[in-house]
Amino acid sequence: MAKTSDNPLIVQIQKRWDSLVLANPELQPIAEFHREVCRCIYRSPVQGPELPFQSDKNGVPSSSAKEKLKQGIALLQGEEELLDFTLPVSFYRELLQIAFSYKHTLNPHQNLASSRSFLDKVITGARSMIQAGKWYQNQQDIRQLFIYVLQGNLDRITQEAEQLHISRDLLLTLLHYSLMPVLQAYGTRLKPLLELDLWTQGNCPICGAWPSLSELRGADQIRYLRCSLCGGDWVYPLLRCPYCENTNHEKLGYFFVEGEEKKHRIYVCEECKGYLKVFPTLDPTPAEFLNLEDLATLHFDVVAAERGYSRPYPFQKL
């Protein structure tokens, strides 16, 4: 196996965090944790997984893919039972161990409240889960957890988290990270089947998740929604809320975080109280970096929450 230091993706992730931490040293603990996660999940490329439905060999959209998109159903939605969860199951177990043995001591006076609470949840949750002897579930049980996540069955995830003595947020974080590489591989495989002019929804046309951020791209400032789980990338009107589809511009707005006026905005909807981060970019952010950029701006989530806005879990049914 290639050494971590030879893996170009891990090196790039490392460099991106280095520059973010240089600008904001308070990001250090979360950067370290995220780098460890990435060293695990991205250590070797995922080979193109078997597609759950038929397409012809030239990659021309199969009629079922086209029909789904027309009906507003993401390509992987409804196919959950057919997906290959071998890798996510082993990542899930490894990530639990990483969170458990994570040595970084969090300095309450030094670190951003947002990253501290995120890490606190992950680390203390993993410890209590392992101490309760619950960490080594059988493969079939873990596989079922992935299916619940993708189906947006939050009730079942909540029940499972209670049985494991951890918070639902920790369980979801572990499951989402474990799923990312394989969903990104599906995203790449399914790209030729995506006819985006058929897709008018606010959620991801590939996996069905809500966007984790959006990009105002190029000189035309067209808004692209981005899915950090599969890397999905689709155009969505700036004056429409992706969650509730509200188009009343008097109920749509945005705000800045002080000192970051030029870099980021947070778009909000007064109708459903949802929010979405917006990053100006020239080029699309690579799939493997979307979660990184989202984590590096956790302080925005804190500000949005203070103002009464929230965003749904990736597969939450609204």
Q: Which is nearer to Zn ion, 83 or 230 (CB)?
A: 230
Q: Which is nearer to Zn ion, 17 or 315 (CB)?
A: 315
> Smallest Cα–Cα separation from 13: which of 47, 39, 51?
39
Q: Which stretch binds Zn ion (CB under 5 A): 30-38, 137-145, 172-180, 232-240?
A: 232-240
CB of 178 to Zn ion, least distance (A): 15
Positions 197 through 216 that interact with Zn ion (CB under 5 A)? 204, 206-207, 209
- 151 touches 313 (CB < 8 A): no
Q: Which stretch binds Zn ion (CB under 5 A): 128-136, 195-203, 230-238, 282-290?
A: 230-238
State which H helix or E strand residue 252 sits in. Answer: strand 252-255
CB of 229 to Zn ion, least distance (A): 5
Q: Which stretch binds Zn ion (CB under 5 A): 131-139, 143-151, 225-233, 298-306?
A: 225-233
Q: Which is nearer to Zn ion, 125 or 232 (CB)?
A: 232
C-alpha–C-alpha distance, residues 178 and 87, integer Å:
8
262 sits in the region (left: phi over 0; alpha: psi -120 to 50; else beta) called: alpha
Query: Six-digit token pair at 48?
Result: 């193109």
Query: Six-digit token pair at 223?
Result: 């808004």
Q: Which stretch binds Zn ion (CB under 5 A): 18-26, 117-125, 134-142, 274-282?
A: 274-282
CB of 185 to Zn ion, least distance (A): 12
Query: Six-digit token pair at 318?
Result: 């609204």
Q: Which is nearer to Zn ion, 166 or 174 (CB)?
A: 174
C-alpha–C-alpha distance, residues 269 and 221, integer Å:
20
CB of 245 to Zn ion, least distance (A): 7
* Secondary structure class of 122 (helix, strand, coil): helix
C-alpha–C-alpha distance, residues 171 and 174, integer Å:
5
Q: Which is nearer to Zn ion, 13 or 206 (CB)?
A: 206
How far CA 152 is from CA of 85, 133, 148, 159, in Å, comes to 17, 27, 6, 14
CB of 260 to Zn ion, least distance (A): 23
- In terms of C-beta distances under 8 Å and separation of at least 24 residues, what long-range contacts does 298-303 make, across chains too? 298/30, 298/112, 298/114, 298/115, 298/118, 299/112, 299/113, 299/114, 299/257, 300/257, 300/264, 300/266, 301/114, 302/113, 302/114, 303/257, 303/266
Positions 234 through 253 that interact with Zn ion (CB under 5 A)? 241, 243-244, 246
Size of interface with Zn ion, in residues (CB under 5 A): 16
Positions 253 through 272 that interact with Zn ion (CB under 5 A)? 269, 271-272
Q: Which is nearer to Zn ion, 164 or 190 (CB)?
A: 190
CB of 95 to Zn ion, least distance (A): 20
**Among 65, 126, 232, 233, interactor with Zn ion by CB under 5 A:** 232
- Rg of the chain's alpha carbons, rounded to an integer? 19
**Among 194, 230, 278, 292, interactor with Zn ion by CB under 5 A:** 230
CB of 5 to Zn ion, least distance (A): 30
**Interacting residues toward Zn ion by CB under 5 A:** 204, 206-207, 209, 227, 229-230, 232, 241, 243-244, 246, 269, 271-272, 274
